[in-house]
Chain A
């Protein structure tokens, strides 16, 4: 028998009996950040491919989700800070070793880029839009001229944002469940699938819907592959990581992970996507909403389960 007790009593708030420093704002932000990254990635990609008119929703309309999602996400992040008055310290330095530091700068770039992109397409929703002030009109002409460069910035920073939301967690030595570099591509894939689902939900053009259904299906497949990969890595690793994987393989997060994230969030929408592509008519809202829901649940499950996982001693 081996029993370990803190006999002097330690009840540090948010640390004991197990870490619970991060609540709902963090997974919510990780979801919204991933969604915005996905949406902006496809907008920039299809713009640069010269398909602006074929895939109008993806390039011109759906990106309006991004600044809204990012602003809500940033508000959630800010709400989660405990020393709020000092948040500006983030922007006094860049620390390459800390994903949170370069992530904060990435967010600054991508949020600004998403606002400019939407400003350039504002007439999509308000055909008679007038900027009123001359300097705003001049800014619009300026950015219209450099739209291609803007799209490249968006494309690259969307990928960085998508990866960063995962790397953020994997940089923490102390939490074996997070401590895998697969989280980078996995969170990126999850964000891209959420972005594709949002486009499928919003698009009224059948051809565009079919293309993004196909993309969504491929990314869901990649996600499933990465999840299997992650478990293989854990189970072939040290005892702490075997136990971390155990949280999903019989432990307290098993049901919520496999049912909400894998079955409802990946497998069912994947099958529905496949049926749609085979010519059956599936209302786009069903797989779309399921993918978004799965993507959100994935963040919640991962952030909460990760805080339970720890080094044994």
Chain B
């Protein structure tokens, strides 16, 4: 099983509902976020092109944060989801410094926190909060090993990219372009 997410940059309107849904679902401390929306503007007026991306932890297959973690608090569980065990984390910041996507932050309680792909929901057969709440339905979540999953189907049909593949991280967050 390899969980992945695909975000349609053509459908995303940048409303940030995914960000608020995540903060509510996961009790993210005020002032922090586990996901965020990036707007990239290219060209000069009137030839402008906008790309909107809802970003979060890429749940990399070759995760630098997991490799750098001195205690094993950062680890990959079945399904390829990268998680942090708070009571094993010493808060040294190595994983934060090693993430090319800046997807992690120090939780005010001391340990490092990040997107979990809403594993508590996924294990119950639900979609991650950000996916479930998206008003334009621009996000797809599922198992890459299942050819009929939402995410496999859409990745077969559409062109896509990942972020900074040259960092060698093998990300599991795809952007449909």
Contact = CB atoms under 8 A, between A and B. Distances in A.
Interface of A: 1-16, 19, 21-22, 80-87, 89-90, 92-93, 95, 97-101, 103-104, 171-175, 238, 307, 310-311, 313
B97 A174 contact: yes
B71 A11 contact: no
Contacts, number: 161
B100 A84 contact: no
Contact of A8 (B37, B44, B100): B37
A8 B36 contact: yes
A128 to B, nearest CB: 43
A100 B92 contact: yes
B90 interface: yes
Interface stretch (B2-10, B117-125, B135-143, B162-170): B162-170
B132 interface: no
Nearest to A306: B97
A101 B164 contact: no
A14 B39 CA distance: 22
B105 interface: yes
Contacts of B99: 174
B93 interface: yes
Interface of B: 14, 16, 19, 31-33, 35-44, 52, 64, 67-73, 86-94, 96-102, 104-106, 109-111, 163-164, 166-169
A16 B104 CA distance: 11
11 contacts: A4-B40, A13-B31, A15-B102, A80-B92, A82-B106, A83-B91, A89-B90, A90-B71, A310-B102, A311-B164, A313-B163
Contacts of B106: 13-14, 21, 82
Given A11-B31, A15-B105, A174-B97, A89 B88 contact: yes
Contacts of A92: 71
Nearest to B166: A238
Given A1-B42, A93-B71, A174 B33 contact: no
B168 A8 contact: no
B167 A311 contact: yes
Contacts of B167: 173-174, 311
Contacts of B86: 83
Contacts of A171: 67-68, 98
Contacts of B163: 313
Contact of B70 (A85, A90, A311): A90
Contact of B39 (A4, A13, A86, A238): A4
A77 B20 CA distance: 35
B41 A100 contact: no
Contacts of B72: 93, 95
Given A15-B105, A174-B99, A313-B163, A2 B41 contact: yes
A6 B73 CA distance: 29
Contacts of B14: 7-8
A85 B166 CA distance: 37
Nearest to A303: B97
Given A6-B38, A12-B105, A172 B92 contact: no
B42 A21 contact: no
B86 to A, nearest CB: 8
Given A81-B91, A82-B111, A86-B89, A13 B105 contact: yes
Nearest to A11: B31
